[in-house]
Structure 1
C-alpha cells in the first residue's frame, strides 16, 4: 500500500528504483557503501546545503515535492554562483516518522525534477529517522568554467554591481503562503512559485564567468547580506541605489495590498537564488548584452567602493543606510 509506513529497507528499495536510470559518468550507483562517479580531470566544485522543518519550511505551506525541489535548488545554486556546471548530487533525508511510499516518491520526485532541469544526476545518499522533523541535506559536485571559478573575493574598487532577475519574490511568496488565504495565493501565483520552486541560474552564471565577472554570489540570504559577504571577502565597500533594485510588478502589487515595503523583502528576504555580481565597466556592459541575448535580464544596481566607505544603501534623496545586519542569519533569528 502506497500510504502504509515503510521500513528503512523498503524505503531504500523505492529510492533505488527511482534512481535506476542511467547517468553519464556514474560507475557505481545506489546499493553499495558509496557511489563511484568518473570526473574527467581538473578541479571539482563541491558544496552542501541543508533545509530543516521549522527553520526553512513548514509542512502546512510546503508540499514534499516542493521541499525536495528547494533542497536541490539551494545546493545547485552554489555551483551557479561560481559560474560552474553541476554534475552529480548526494541527498540525505531524515524523516520525522516512518514515511509512506507516496511520501518518499513525492520528496525524491521533486528533487529529481529540479536536478533533471540542470542535468545534475542524483547518484546516492542516505535515509534515516529524525526526532525533530524532516531534514534534507544535498551535496553537489560540479565543474568550474574554463576561465576558472568566480569567487566572492575578486571585487575591486570601481567595479559595477549587478543582479540577475528580480528580487524579493520568494519572500513575497512566503508572505502569501503564511497568510493562509486561498484568494491571495490565486492572485499572486508567480510569487508562490518563486518561493516553492526557485530556479538556479546555471546559464547566467556561465555567461557571467565567460564575460569576466570579478566576483559573484547567489542571493540566498537576501541581497544585503550576500553583497556584504562579497565586500568582506574582497576587502571593499559598496554603494547600491534603492531605486535601481529590480522588483517585479507582482511583488509591488502584493506589497501595496499588504502595506509592506517590497524593498525590505528584496534586501532581507532571501531564497531568490538570483546572482549578484561585480565586473569592470567594459566587462559589465558585455555581460548585460550577453545575458539579454539569452533572455536572462540583469540590472545595474551600484558600484564597488573603497572599504572605508562601508556597505551602503543610497535612497533617492541621498540618505545612506548601512547594509550590515540585514538579511537572514541562522543564529540571530
Structure 2
C-alpha cells in the first residue's frame, strides 16, 4: 500500500503515535498549527537543522528505512552534543514521492522513534509534502544548555590539549565498502558499515567535556581536517596534530589494506564520523578521562591560524580542509557527491 491510499492526514496520524517521550516538557505537540513546549529557566535554547536529500546524502540501495530514520536524527543530535547541550524536541519534515509505500514510512519512523527514545527526545511537529524527484528529510532539533556549559568553536587557547572522542574514519570506509558491494564477505566490514549507517551521537561525551571546562568543540561531520581548521580559524590559534596519535580502529586498518588506501586518509578527510573534536586545559584531562573515552591527538599553540600535522617521519605538514563540500568542484571539474 502506498501513501496515496491514506493521504496526508492519515500519514500524520500514523506518525503521531508514540511521538512524545517526555510529556512534561510538551504543552501541545503534533496536531496544532505550532508545537508548544516548556523552556527551561536559566538555559540557552539551541536550535539546529539538517536536510538529507536522496542521491546526495543517501542511496536507498545501501540503507534501510529504519537506518535512514535513525541517522537523520543522529546527525542533528551530534550538533547539539558539540554545543555541550541536551536535545529536547524535534520537528521532522518529509517530501515524499506519491508512490512511496506505507511500509517505508513506518520503517523510517521506527528508526526515528528508536533514537528519540534512547535520548528522551519528543517529536512535536513537522510537515509532509509530495516530491516529484526523490525523498527529502529535514530535521530541526531544539535543545538547551546552561550558559556555563555552552561550547563554541572560538574558545581554544594556546596550551590546550586537542582531544577526540572515539575512532575516526570508520564511517567513510564503511560507505566505500557499501558502494563496492559484497562487503558482507569481510569480518572487518560490519563495524565500519554500522558506523556509517547508524552513527551514535556523542551527547554524553559533549556534556562531560563541557562540564570540565572544554574551551572549544566541534562535531566531526566533514572530516577531522575540516573541523580542526574551523576551530583554528574561529579561535585564531594554531593546532598541531600528531598523526600517530589519531585513533583508528583495527577494522579500518584492515579495510584500508583491502581498498588499497591509507587509513589515515579516511580519518582526516572521510567525514560522517559524528565524533567530537575538542580542546581543553591539560589539568582537566584526568577528570574527563575518568568518565568518557577521549584520545589526546595534539596541542594548541600560538601562531598563524591553521592546522599542522606532525607525520611519522617528523615532517610538519600544513593540513588543509579537504573534507566534503556540497558546492566545491573537484580536480575533474565535477561537484562532490555524498551518499
Q: Where on the TM-score scale, by shorter chain, does this alignment land: which range?
A: over 0.9
How far apart, in 1, do the equivalents of 2:114 and 2:263 lie? 30
Matches within 5 A, 1:180-259: 180-184=181-185, 187-259=188-260
Q: Which runs of 5+ in 1 are unaligned?
A: 292-296
Hey, what does 1:80 align to over in structure 2? 81
Correspondences of 1:232-311 after superposition (within 5 Å): 232-291=233-292, 297-308=293-304, 310-311=306-307
Partner of 1:101: 102
Does the CA-based 8 Å contact 2:158-2:301 persist in structure 1?
yes
Equivalent residue, structure 2, for 1:32: 32
Count of residue pairs brought into register by the alignment: 328
User: Which residue of structure 1 lines up, in the alignment, with residue 67 of structure 2?
Assistant: 66
TM superposition score normalised by structure 1: 0.93
> Is 1:6–1:99's contact at 8 Å kept on the other side of the alignment?
no
* Contact 1:176-1:185 within 8 A present in 2 as well: no
Looking at structure 2, the residues matched to 83 and 261 of structure 1 have their Cα atoms a distance apart, in angstroms, of 32
Q: Which residue number in structure 1 is paired with residue 16 of structure 2?
A: 16
Deviating beyond 6 angstroms after TM superposition, the runs of 4 or more aligned structure 1 residues are none
Bigger shift: 317-326 or 263-272? 317-326
Map 1:47-62; keep pairs closer than 5 Å. 47-62=48-63
Residue 289 of structure 1 deviates from its aligned partner by 2.8
Tell me the SS of whatever aligns to 1:14.
helix
Q: In 2, Cα distance between the equivalents of 1:131 and 1:259?
A: 39
Q: CA deviation at 1:186?
A: 5.5
Cα distance in 2 between the residues matched to 1:191 and 1:331:
27
SS in 1 for 2:287: helix
| SS in structure 2 of the partner of residue 285 of structure 1 | helix
Distance 1:321 1:130 in 2: 46
Q: Which moved more, 1:17-26 or 1:144-153?
A: 17-26
Note if contact 1:195-1:271 (Cα within 8 Å) is conserved in structure 2: yes
CA contact (8 A) 1:44 1:141 kept: yes
Q: Over aligned residues, Cα RMSD in angstroms?
A: 1.8
Q: Which residue of 309, 313, 331 maps to 2:309? A: 313
Shift of 1:261: 1.0
Question: Which deviates more, 272-281 or 254-263?
Answer: 254-263
Compared CA separation, residues 188 and 241, structure 1 to 2 (3 A): same
- 205-214 or 122-131, which moves further after superposition? 122-131
> Is the CA contact 2:189–2:251 (under 8 Å) kept in the aligned structure 1?
yes
CA contact (8 A) 1:170 1:195 kept: yes
Superposed CA deviations along residues 87-120 of structure 1, whole A, max 9, x for unmatched, are: 1111111113343221111111111111111111
Match in the other structure for 2:115: 114
Q: Distance in 2 between matches of 1:194 and 1:97?
A: 31
- Normalised by the size of structure 2, how large is the TM-score? 0.92
Which residue of the partner structure matches residue 294 of structure 1?
none
Cα deviation for residue 18 of structure 1 reads: 4.4
Q: Secondary structure at the match of 1:206?
A: helix
* Alpha carbons of structure 1 residues 322 and 97: separation in structure 2 relative to 1, 3 Å: farther
Structure 1 Cα separation of the partners of residues 16 and 253 of structure 2: 45
Deviation at 1:227, TM superposition (A): 0.9
Deviation at 1:6, TM superposition (A): 4.0
> 2:165·2:295 contact (CA, 8 Å) conserved in 1?
yes
Corresponding residue for residue 151 of structure 2: 150
Whether contact under 8 Å (1:2, 1:100) holds in the other structure is yes
Paired with 2:108 and 2:268, the residues of 1 have a C-alpha distance of 30
Question: After the TM superposition, which of the residue ranges 305-314 and 67-76 deviates more from structure 2?
Answer: 305-314
How far off is 1:146 after superposition?
A: 6.0
Equivalent residue of 1:302, what SS?
strand
Change (3 A) 1:23 1:99: farther
Q: Deviations over 1:160-215 (max 9, x none)?
A: 10001100111111011111114346652111110010001111111101111000
